[in-house]
Chains A and B, each alone.
Chain A
C-alpha cells in the first residue's frame, strides 16, 4: 500500500522537479539555453537512476515542453522552429532510458550479490551448526530446525535411512508426504510452482536419506550444497556415535579386568606373606606341637588361596571376562599335566586313563581346560570313597572331543543332577560333610560353555557318576 502511494508521489514529484529548474532559470538566474538543457539532463538522469523509467520519461516530456515553451524561440509557444530542438528532446528521452537501464542493471547486480552472500552465509551457518550434534538422531532433528531458520523456507523434513525416521520442522501443513520423502531418488526433484523440493542426501555413493523443503526455495546449486552439508553432518554424527560407543564399551571392559586383577592381587598378597612365613617355619626343626599348629596355618592358607582363586574365577566367568587363547589342544597331554598337578590330592588312588586312538586335537585354551578337568577330578575324588578307582576316558564324535570322568561314588539323585552345575549348590547329603564351596562344577561349566562345548552328568545312585564335557575339534592346520 505504502509502495503504491510512494510511486504516485514520485510520479507527481518528477515533473515538479523539472518545473522547479525551469522556474529557477526563467525567473531568478538568466543563463544561456545550453546550461538550462544540461541542468535538465542531469535532473532527468538523477530521477531515472533513483526512481525508475516511468518517472524519468514523464520528467523528459515535462522538460521538453518546458524548455521549448520558456527558452526556445519563439519563447512562449510550443512550436519548434529549429530542428536542433528535436535533437534536444530526443537527447532528453535517450538519457532517461539509458540511465534507467544502467541503474536497473546495477541494482539487479547488487540484489544478486546480496542474495548470494545470504546463501553463502546460510550454508556456512548450517555447516557450523551441523558440527555440534553428537548423535544421528539429534543431528537429524537439529538440521531440519536449522535449515528452516537459516534458509528461510517455511518447512523442512528429513527422512533418515539410518534410523528409518522422518524429522520435520516448520509449517505443519506440508505438501511433501512421508511416502514421497521415503522414496529413494537419484536426482533432486524441484517443483517451483508448488514451492517444494526433495533432494537426495548422499555421501560417497551411500544414500543417507532425503531432504524435503517447502517455501521460498533457494537455487538448485544451493539445494545441492545443503544436501551435501547434511550428509557430512549426519556422517560425522554417526562416526562420533560409533566411536564413543566403542570407547565406552572398551573402557568398561577395561575397568572390569583391572578391578578383577587388583582384587586378585589384594587377596593374594597377604596370603603370600602368611604362606611364606608358615612354610619357612616348617622348614626348620620344631617341636611336634608347634609343627602341627604351623601346618594348620600353612594348609589353611592354601585353602583360602584356592577359595579366592575359585571366587575370582567365578566372577570372571560371570563377567564374561574369560580370555580364551584357543589353539590345537592335545587331550592326552592335558590329562597328563592335570594328573601331575593334583597328584597330592590323589593320595595314591589309581586313575585309569583310556583315550581313544587317533583322538583329534580340540580347539581350546589349555590352561582353562586343565582347570575344568581339575575341578571335575576334584569333585570325583571328594565324593567317592578313598581307594575307589577313577576312570578318565576321551573319544571323538560329531566334530567334538568328549572327555569323561567316572567315579564309583554314591552317585547323584536324579532331581539333583540338573542343579549340580549351579553355583553354590551342594548335594543334600554332603552339605555339611564334605568341604568345598560349591563353585567347582559351576566353574567347569562356565569354562566348557565359553568354548562352545557342553557339560553333563549321568549317574546311578549307589553306583557312581560319570561327568562328561565336549569341546569342538580343532579344524585346520595342526601346529606342533
Chain B
C-alpha cells in the first residue's frame, strides 16, 4: 500500500533520480515531470496526492506552474528553491503553494514536510463545530464545503484546515506558533510569513470586505482570532 502518490517536478535529472529513490524507499509512489507544462498534464492525468515543484525551471517557472495548477486543483504543493529570502517564500505561498523548502535540504526535513502536507486534521476537531452558518457565510466541516453569499468557494486543504482550527477556537486568540503547529505540524512554528499569506488568502475568499475583516481578526503581537458568531 503506497503512502501517497508524489509528482516530482524538476529540470535536473539527478535531483529527480535521488528523490525517486529516497521517496520510493519511504513507500511513496513517484511520478516525474521535467518542466511546468509536463507537470500540469501529469497533475490532471494522474491526480497525485502531492507535488514537489522546483521554482527555477526553463519555460514556465515554478511559480507560474503553481498558479496554473491552482486554477483546477487543490493538490498540496511544496516548492523547492535555492533562494531563501522571505520575499521568495511569500511569493511562492502567494502563488498557492502550501509549503516551501530551501535547496539543498536534508531528506528527513523533506519527509517531515511531505507528511505535514499530506496530513489532514481529523474531519472535526474535538469539541469543534460541524458547521457554522451566518447570513453570508456557510461552512460545512464534514463535507469540507464552504459557501459565501450562496456561492461555493474552493479552499486549498491548508486554507481549510487553518479556517477550521480558528473556528474551533472561535472567540479566543490563537497564537502564531499554535496555529502553525496545528495546521502544518509539530516541526513548524517559526514561519509567521506562512500565516500572513494564508490568512490573507482566506480573507479574500470569505470576508465580504477583506480590507476590514469581520470574521478573521488579527490579534496584534499574538496571533489571529475567529470572531464568535
- The number of residues on chain A lying at the interface, defined by a beta carbon within 8 Å of a beta carbon of chain B, is 28
What's the minimum C-beta distance from A298 to chain B, rounded to whole angstroms? 8
Mask: chain B, 7-43; 1 = CB below 8 Å from A; 0 = not:
0000010110111011001000000000000000000
**Which A residues are in CB contact (< 8 Å) with B14?**
269-270, 273
Mask: chain A, 276-300; 1 = CB below 8 Å from B; 0 = not:
1101101110000000000000100
Are A325 and B107 neighbours in the complex by a CB distance under 8 Å? Answer: no
The answer to whether A480 and B221 touch (CB under 8 A), given A265-B56, A269-B12, A280-B22, is: yes
Asked if A213 is at the interface (CB within 8 A of a chain B CB), the reply is: no
Asked if A62 is at the interface (CB within 8 A of a chain B CB), the reply is: no
Asked if B118 is at the interface (CB within 8 A of a chain A CB), the reply is: no
A298 to B190, CA, bound (A): 25
Among B14, B104, B105, B111: residue with most chain A CB under 10 A? B104
Are A301 and B104 neighbours in the complex by a CB distance under 8 Å? Answer: yes
Are B190 and A275 neighbours in the complex by a CB distance under 8 Å? Answer: no
**Which A residues are in CB contact (< 8 Å) with B21?**
277, 280
Are B82 and A276 neighbours in the complex by a CB distance under 8 Å? Answer: no
Asked if A128 is at the interface (CB within 8 A of a chain B CB), the reply is: no
Segment at the A interface, from B83-91, B148-156, B178-186: B83-91
The answer to whether A305 and B18 touch (CB under 8 A), given A269-B12, A273-B12, is: no
**Which B residues are in CB contact (< 8 Å) with A301?**
104
**A268, A280, A282, A325: which contacts B18 (Cβ < 8 A)?**
A280
**Which B residues are in CB contact (< 8 Å) with A193?**
none
Are B82 and A269 neighbours in the complex by a CB distance under 8 Å? Answer: yes
The answer to whether A283 and B107 touch (CB under 8 A), given A265-B82, A268-B82, A367-B86, is: yes
Asked if B127 is at the interface (CB within 8 A of a chain A CB), the reply is: no
**A261, A273, A302: which contacts B17 (Cβ < 8 A)?**
A273
Asked if A272 is at the interface (CB within 8 A of a chain B CB), the reply is: yes
What's the minimum C-beta distance from A9 to chain B, rounded to whole angstroms? 89
Are A340 and B106 neighbours in the complex by a CB distance under 8 Å? Answer: no
Are B104 and A268 neighbours in the complex by a CB distance under 8 Å? Answer: yes
**Which B residues are in CB contact (< 8 Å) with A261?**
56
**Which B residues are in CB contact (< 8 Å) with A282?**
107-108
Are B56 and A272 neighbours in the complex by a CB distance under 8 Å? Answer: no
CB-CB nearest in chain B for A267: B82
A276 to B83, CA, bound (A): 17
**Which A residues are in CB contact (< 8 Å) with B107?**
276, 279-280, 282-283
Are B106 and A275 neighbours in the complex by a CB distance under 8 Å? Answer: yes
A298 to B106, CA, bound (A): 9
A265 to B56, CA, bound (A): 8
Mask: chain A, 414-445; 1 = CB below 8 Å from B; 0 = not:
00000000000000000000000000000000
Are A276 and B19 neighbours in the complex by a CB distance under 8 Å? Answer: yes
Are A269 and B103 neighbours in the complex by a CB distance under 8 Å? Answer: yes
CB-CB nearest in chain A for B85: A367
The answer to whether A275 and B17 touch (CB under 8 A), given A269-B12, A366-B86, is: no
Mask: chain A, 392-421; 1 = CB below 8 Å from B; 0 = not:
000000000000000000000000000000
A-B contact pairs, 27 of them (CB 8 A): A264-B82, A265-B56, A269-B12, A272-B15, A272-B80, A272-B82, A272-B103, A273-B14, A273-B17, A275-B104, A275-B105, A275-B106, A276-B15, A276-B106, A277-B22, A279-B105, A279-B106, A282-B107, A283-B22, A298-B106, A302-B104, A305-B104, A325-B87, A367-B85, A367-B86, A480-B220, A480-B221
